[in-house]
């Protein structure tokens, strides 16, 4: 007889606080959401691409997150015909780039656990590469005033990234380049070591990078930029 009626929570789990951080978390604070956005920074992706990258995420959750992100205007779904749906970032969703970069720099301070799952693909590094390059390009511009251009394909453990720097703009997409000035290959481990500050870009370049084809100069410049970008305050 002591059972009381509980008020059943009007809105499903939202901080209702007058604070921009809380408003941000109401959009991207749910479990998996930031990892999902991270993947989409590598370019449009299909449901199964995301599933293979986000090992351990249940498909119903993926569906739910995609719906929520779409309704908040961070991503948009495009029907690409023949039963293929692709999801891609809107400009609003793309504005999570620097947030994800800061989160990556924070997380790099912690050692990886012993047993962990590999992602099914390497989409995850695109944001970090992009933001590091963007940061380096910005400081190169303010330092010298000169704009540079770069169009290379970087292969990381065989997976292709189309990297373009043009007029101060940086793009890093998970795909093959169409007319690259150079094609370079490296592997994941040493690359993250540079991100964590355990290795310099020079060492990476001299020991763990192969130029598959094209200009060595452009390849060198890419790793100079990466070195600057990972070291810079962000």
Which residue of 12, 81, 111, 233 would you call a contact of DNA, by CB under 7 A?
Answer: 12
Distance CA 227, CA 140 (A): 12
Buried b (16+ CB within 10 A) or exposed e, 6-19: eeeeeeeeeeeeee
CB of 162 to a copy of itself, least distance (A): 21
CB-based burial of residue 185 (10 Å sphere; 0-12 exposed, 13-18 middle, 19+ buried)?
middle
DSSP element (H, E) containing 20: helix 20-28
Nearer residue to DNA within complex by CB, 56 or 145:
56
For residue 78, state whether it binds DNA (rule: CB under 7 A). no
Nearer residue to DNA within complex by CB, 57 or 220:
57
Closest by Cα among 76, 8, 64, 77 to 31: 64
Q: The tokens of 72 are what?
A: 């908040």
Q: Which of residues 134-153 bind a copy of itself (CB under 8 A)?
A: 138, 142
For residue 117, state whether it binds a copy of itself (rule: CB under 8 A). yes
Q: Which of DNA, a copy of itself, none lies near 8, with the C-beta cut-off 5 to 8 A by kind? A: DNA
Residues 6+ apart with CB under 8 A from 3: none
Residues 6+ apart with CB under 8 A from 219: 152, 182, 184, 205, 209, 211
Nearer residue to DNA within complex by CB, 70 or 196:
70
For residue 88, state whether it binds a copy of itself (rule: CB under 8 A). no
Site track 161-190 with a copy of itself (rule: CB under 8 A), x = hit: ------------------------------
Residue pointed to by tokens 């094609």: 183
Stretch touching a copy of itself by CB under 8 A, among 26-34, 76-84, 173-181, 212-220: 26-34
Which residue of 43, 50, 89, 105 would you call a contact of a copy of itself, by CB under 8 A?
Answer: 105
Q: How many CB atoms lie within 10 A of CB 105?
A: 18
Distance CA 96, CA 91 (A): 9
Beta strands in 56-111, from DSSP E residues, in sequence order: 75-79, 85-89
Stretch touching a copy of itself by CB under 8 A, among 79-87, 111-119, 144-152, 207-215: 111-119
Instruction: Return residues touching a copy of itself (CB under 8 A).
Output: 13-29, 31, 34-35, 38, 54-56, 92, 95-96, 98-110, 112-113, 115-119, 124, 127-128, 138, 142, 192, 195-196, 233-234
Chain residues that interact with DNA, rule: CB under 7 A = 6-9, 12-13, 30-32, 46-49, 56-61, 63-64, 83-85
């Amino acid at each position: 007889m002591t059972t009381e009626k509980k008020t059943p929570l009007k809105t499903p789990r939202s901080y209702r606080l007058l604070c921009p951080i809380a408003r941000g978390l109401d959009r991207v604070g749910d479990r998996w959401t930031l990892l999902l956005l991270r993947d989409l920074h590598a370019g449009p992706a299909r449901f199964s691409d995301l599933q293979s990258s986000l090992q351990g995420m249940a498909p119903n959750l993926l569906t739910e997150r995609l719906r929520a992100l779409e309704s908040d205007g961070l991503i948009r779904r495009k029907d690409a015909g023949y039963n293929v749906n692709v999801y891609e970032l809107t400009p609003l969703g793309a504005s999570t780039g620097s947030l994800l970069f800061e989160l990556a720099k924070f997380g790099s301070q912690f050692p990886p656990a012993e047993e962990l799952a590999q992602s099914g693909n390497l989409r995850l590094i695109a944001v970090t590469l992009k933001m590091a390059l963007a940061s380096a390009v910005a400081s190169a511009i303010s330092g010298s005033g000169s704009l540079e251009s770069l169009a290379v394909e970087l292969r990381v453990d065989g997976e292709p990234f189309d990297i373009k720097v043009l007029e101060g703009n940086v793009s890093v997409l998970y795909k093959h380049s169409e007319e690259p000035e150079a094609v370079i290959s490296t592997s994941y481990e040493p690359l993250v070591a540079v991100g964590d500050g355990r290795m310099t870009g020079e060492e990476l370049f001299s020991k763990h990078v192969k130029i598959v084809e094209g200009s060595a100069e452009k390849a060198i410049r890419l790793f100079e930029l990466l070195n600057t970008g990972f070291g810079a305050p962000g």
